[in-house]
Amino acid sequence: MELSFPHIKETCLYIKDIDEAEAFYHGKLKLPIVAKAEGRHIFFRAGSSMLLCFIAESTKQETRFPAHYGSGKQHMGFGVPLSEYEAWKEKFIALDIHITHEHVWNEKIKSFYFEDPDGNVLEVLPNEMWDGIG
């Protein structure tokens, strides 16, 4: 039996402060809030995907679900159309979100990195980034 997933539905980051995550992901990045449980999690919608932000110390002690947690500089990327990449970069600059690095891939496609309040490494990259690779 062959499996073929159309996309990743959920991505999870571990955070320390729900209010800081809300101010950043909802306040600055304008991701709609789908669910929030004080002291445990806040979930955001990003297009057809979900960004789940958990307090690691809470989910580490789970008994109702499998325990899950993480630490350190986790990474995830937001996809944008290649034709809109520069406009997205300008939006981040206008929002005073510090771009920590911009990289040129294969001498033609760029992506840029920034961090959330917990130091997670986030990226904006063209949807076309992985086309024809792998």
Do 127 and 88 share a structural domain?
yes
Distance CA 134, CA 130 (A): 8
The conformation of residue 32, written as its DSSP 8-state character, comes to P
The conformation of residue 9, written as its DSSP 8-state character, comes to -
Do 66 and 109 share a structural domain?
no
| Owning domain of residue 48 | 1-71
Identify the pLDDT of residue 94.
Answer: 96
Cβ count within 10 A of residue 21? 25
Do 65 and 1 share a structural domain?
yes
Cβ-contact 51, 8 below 8 angstroms: no
Do 19 and 34 share a structural domain?
yes
Cβ-contact 34, 49 below 8 angstroms: no
Do 22 and 67 share a structural domain?
yes
- pLDDT reading at 134 higher than 80: no
Distance CA 19, CA 39 (A): 10
Do 16 and 64 share a structural domain?
yes
Do 123 and 87 share a structural domain?
yes
pTM for this prediction:
0.92
Average pLDDT over the chain, rounded to an integer: 94
Do 65 and 87 share a structural domain?
no
- pLDDT reading at 127 higher than 70: yes
Do 109 and 65 share a structural domain?
no
Q: What is the pLDDT of residues 29-61, one digit of tens each?
A: 999 999 999 999 999 999 999 999 999 999 998
- Top-confidence residue, 4 or 89: 89
- pLDDT reading at 132 higher than 70: no
User: Per the structure, how many domains does the chain have?
Assistant: 2
Do 112 and 78 share a structural domain?
yes
Do 62 and 8 share a structural domain?
yes
- pLDDT reading at 133 higher than 60: no
Strands 49-55 and 10-15, by their bridges, are parallel
Report the phi/psi class of residue 90: left, alpha or beta, with left for phi > 0 and alpha for psi in -120 to 50.
alpha
Helix (H, G, I), strand (E, B) or coil at 91: helix
Q: What is the pLDDT of residues 68-124, one digit of tens each?
A: 899 999 999 999 999 999 999 999 999 999 999 999 998 889 999 999 999 999 999
Burial class (CB in 10 A: 0-12, 13-18, 19+), 126: buried
